């Protein structure tokens, strides 16, 4: 019987979960070789993958109407959001660092309902990542629309290669190869296209001469020729250090330049990526002119609030502004949801809230003791089935010939390591000689964890040829912080184990030998927020406990380092 997609639940709304879009570089023939699974050595065949969010906040705080949404609007690791519009369509991008494909592209017509329509960087020639650590790669993409030539631009940093941009006339289609900007140094570039047709790039860069303190950075501006696609003239420093250089502000970055009611606004992040993160604003008379800070900065932060407050939102900053057709201004920004204000393993997520305006004409999102709202009303709109927020369920039965948009690999497309057509209805994953601890491309197909509490399951057929081969579910924060729930060979039987991967290597935390010859093995991870429980089942047997109360903190940024959240997916070694 042909398998069909199950319903996905969004706040009681049902829709068909369709995984039709793909890694463009991994297109495969739609011809199906056989309807019968061909179990072979060195290959694990995954029958399905399910993910179901179960966060307490969403369960206990129902949305009061159809015109409300939850924050974060993009839960799970979706950092450094940037948004733009042509007046009709909105597009948003976020950072992907060393994951492939790069820079997810989300589309909306109303700012509330978003759908991922692809990736901006979906070809290897756009995305050289080999040898880069998981928190290197692509930093802070910024998307812009130039009304003068009806072209969309995405500019970003490949931390090992420099700054570049890609462009397109059709954001739903393919984007150009990288156009490198050798004269734009530092990180976090973004375009500004002025009403007079002139174009500029603003970016974070080192100070002139010796830095005055650790984290001392500047914001610079470059003139850009749209025809030659090169910068010209000398660049200029707009901001030195931040709002107040005497206070030694660190890491001013993520600049965006706007023209609003005849005035130019330069908005940036300050304070690093931790709890001191904040957004600040400056006003000037021209793009190349002098910019003065608002005397009530920062315009968005939670850094000064009581750390014991309930349901804290922290690390707030790296914002972008966007105006709707009805004149309303809104802001996209990143923030974290730590558990008990201690740690999280979801990474920095994308939040959305309305912009307010001061009497002296400055935009701001929070002042004083104002909190980031977790539930927001957007007047005149209605949630539809594409909502990306709250508790939801996503299931993939691998009935397509292409991987869906939520799936990622490390540093490359891994086309030679998996197939959706060798055994239709299965994800067939080859045991690779590359491990997830190496700076290469392992046989790992993953998605973001998007909830503190969730349940994830899979089922696989796997006949390992040697005791060194293993396949199962990998929970991956970085090269040295992982949990691997593995199926492997143990004499004439199979072993199911949980392995903690660290800088010292792999440590077995639990193991169980089972008789599972030619039978599928089901694996389940249940996240309770601060810990994980692991279960298994052989064939049609009931779930059995492998181990419980395994620390989730181990996969958090508080325990490790880096700019990503934790991902989970299928892995073979």
Domain ranges of the chain: 43-54+391-572, 68-377
Q: Is 480 exposed, middle or buried (0-12, 13-18, 19+ CB in 10 A)?
A: middle
pLDDT number for residue 36: 67
For 525, residues 6+ apart whose C-beta sits below 8 A from its C-beta are: 455, 456, 457, 473, 475, 485, 532, 533, 534, 535, 568
The two tokens of residue 439 are 């700076």
**Residue 201: partners with Cβ closer than 8 Å, 6 or more residues away:** 155, 181, 184, 189, 190, 191, 192, 221, 222, 224, 231
Q: Say whether pLDDT at 432 is over 90.
A: yes
pLDDT in tens, 221-270: 999 999 999 999 999 999 999 999 999 999 999 999 999 999 999 999 99
Find residue 191's DSSP bridge partners: 201
- Is 344 annotated in the active site? no
CB 121 within 8 A of CB 137: no
Q: Which of 47, 55, 80, 320 is catalytic?
A: 80
Instruction: Please give the mean pLDDT across all residues of the chain.
Output: 93
Class of domain 68-377: mainly beta
Tokens read off for 197:
């047709």
Report whether CATH 2.60.120.200 matches the domain 43-54+391-572. Answer: yes
pLDDT in tens, 493-540: 999 999 999 999 999 999 999 998 889 999 999 999 999 999 999 999
- The terminus-to-terminus CA distance of the chain in angstroms comes to 31
Question: How far is Cα 10 from Cα 378, in angstroms, rounded to an integer?
Answer: 18
Question: DSSP secondary structure string, 241-307?
Answer: SSS-GGG-----EEEEEEEETTEEEEEEEES-SSTT-EEEEEEESSTTS-EEE-TT--SEE-TTS-T
Residue 341's pLDDT is what? 86
Range 437-470 burial, b when 16+ CB lie within 10 A, else e:
bebebbbbbbbbbbbbbbbbbbbbbbbbeeeebb
Using a 10 angstrom Cβ sphere, with 0-12 exposed, 13-18 middle and 19 or more buried, the burial of residue 310 is exposed
CB-based contact 95:120 (threshold 8 Å) = no
Tell me the CA distances in angstroms from 85 to 90, 264, 570, one per residue in order: 4, 18, 36
Q: For residue 1, is pLDDT > 50?
A: no
Half-sphere exposure of 178 (CA within 13 A, CB side): 22
* Mean pLDDT across 145-165: 98
Q: Tokens 């796997």 map to which residue?
A: 462
Mean pLDDT on 158-165: 98
The CA–CA distances, whole Å, from 556 to 94, 132, 288, 482 equal 20, 20, 41, 10
Per annotation, catalytic residue among 253, 279, 422, 479: 253
Q: Please state whether 304 falls in left (phi above 0), alpha (psi between -120 and 50) or beta.
A: alpha
Token reading at 423 = 């055994």
> 134: Cβ–Cβ under 8 A, 6 or more apart, which residues?
97, 98, 99, 410, 478, 479, 562, 564
pLDDT at position 27 over 70: no
Q: Which of 24-38, 188-202, 325-339, 382-396 has the lowest mean pLDDT?
A: 24-38
Tokens for 292? 């003065």
Instruction: Give 180-223 pLDDT, tens digit per residue.
Output: 999 999 999 999 999 999 999 999 999 999 999 999 999 999 99
Question: Is 253 annotated as catalytic?
Answer: yes
């Amino acid at each position: 019987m042909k398998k069909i997609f199950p319903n996905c639940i969004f706040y009681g709304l049902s829709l068909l979960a369709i995984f039709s879009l793909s890694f463009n570089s991994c297109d495969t023939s739609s011809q199906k070789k056989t309807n019968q699974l061909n179990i072979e050595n060195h290959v694990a065949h995954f029958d399905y993958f399910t993910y179901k969010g179960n966060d307490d906040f969403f369960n206990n705080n129902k949305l009061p109407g159809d015109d409300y949404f939850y924050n974060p609007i993009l839960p799970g690791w979706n950092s450094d959001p940037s948004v733009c519009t042509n007046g009709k369509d909105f597009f948003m991008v976020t950072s992907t660092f060393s994951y492939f494909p790069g820079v997810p592209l989300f589309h909306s017509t109303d700012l509330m309902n978003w759908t991922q329509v692809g990736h901006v960087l979906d070809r290897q020639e756009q995305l050289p990542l080999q040898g880069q650590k998981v928190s290197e790669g692509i930093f802070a993409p910024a998307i812009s629309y130039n009304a003068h030539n009806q072209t969309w631009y995405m500019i970003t940093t490949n931390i090992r290669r420099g700054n570049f941009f890609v462009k397109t006339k059709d954001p739903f289609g393919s984007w150009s190869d990288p156009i490198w900007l050798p004269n734009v140094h530092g990180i976090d570039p973004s375009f500004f296209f002025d009403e007079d047709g002139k174009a500029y790039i603003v970016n974070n860069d080192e100070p002139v001469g010796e830095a005055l303190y650790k984290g001392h950075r500047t914001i610079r501006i470059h003139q850009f020729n749209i025809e030659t696609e090169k910068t010209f003239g000398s660049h200029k420093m707009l901001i030195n250090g931040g709002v107040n250089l005497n206070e030694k502000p660190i890491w001013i970055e993520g600049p965006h330049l706007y023209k609003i009611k005849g005035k130019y606004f330069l908005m940036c992040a300050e304070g690093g990526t931790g709890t001191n993160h904040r957004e600040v604003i400056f006003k000037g008379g021209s793009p190349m002119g002098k910019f003065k800070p608002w005397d009530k900065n920062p315009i968005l932060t939670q850094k000064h609030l009581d750390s014991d407050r309930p349901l804290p939102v922290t690390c707030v900053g790296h914002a972008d502004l966007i105006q709707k057709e009805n004149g309303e201004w809104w802001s996209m920004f990143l923030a974290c949801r730590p558990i008990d204000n201690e740690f999280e393993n979801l990474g920095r997520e994308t939040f959305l809230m309305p912009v307010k305006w001061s009497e002296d004409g400055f935009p701001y999102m929070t002042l004083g003791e104002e909190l980031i709202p977790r539930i927001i009303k957007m007047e005149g709109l209605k949630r539809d089935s594409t909502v990306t927020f709250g508790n939801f369920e996503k299931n993939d039965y691998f009935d397509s010939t292409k991987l869906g948009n939520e799936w990622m690999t490390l540093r490359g497309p891994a086309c030679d390591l998996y197939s959706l057509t060798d055994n239709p209805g299965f994800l067939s994953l080859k045991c690779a000689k590359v491990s997830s601890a190496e700076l290469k491309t392992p046989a790992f197909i993953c998605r973001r964890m998007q909830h503190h509490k969730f349940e994830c399951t899979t089922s696989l057929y796997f006949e390992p040829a040697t005791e060194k081969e293993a396949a199962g579910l990998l929970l991956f924060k970085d090269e040295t912080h992982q949990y691997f729930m593995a199926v492997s060979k143990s004499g004439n039987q199979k072993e199911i184990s949980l392995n903690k991967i660290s800088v010292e290597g792999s440590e077995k935390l639990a193991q169980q030998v089972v008789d599972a010859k030619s039978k599928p093995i089901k694996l389940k991870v249940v996240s309770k927020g601060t810990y994980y429980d692991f279960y298994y089942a052989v064939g049609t047997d009931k779930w059995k406990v492998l181990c419980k109360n395994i620390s989730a903190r181990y996969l958090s940024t508080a325990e490790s380092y880096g700019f990503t959240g934790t991902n989970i997916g299928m892995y073979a070694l």
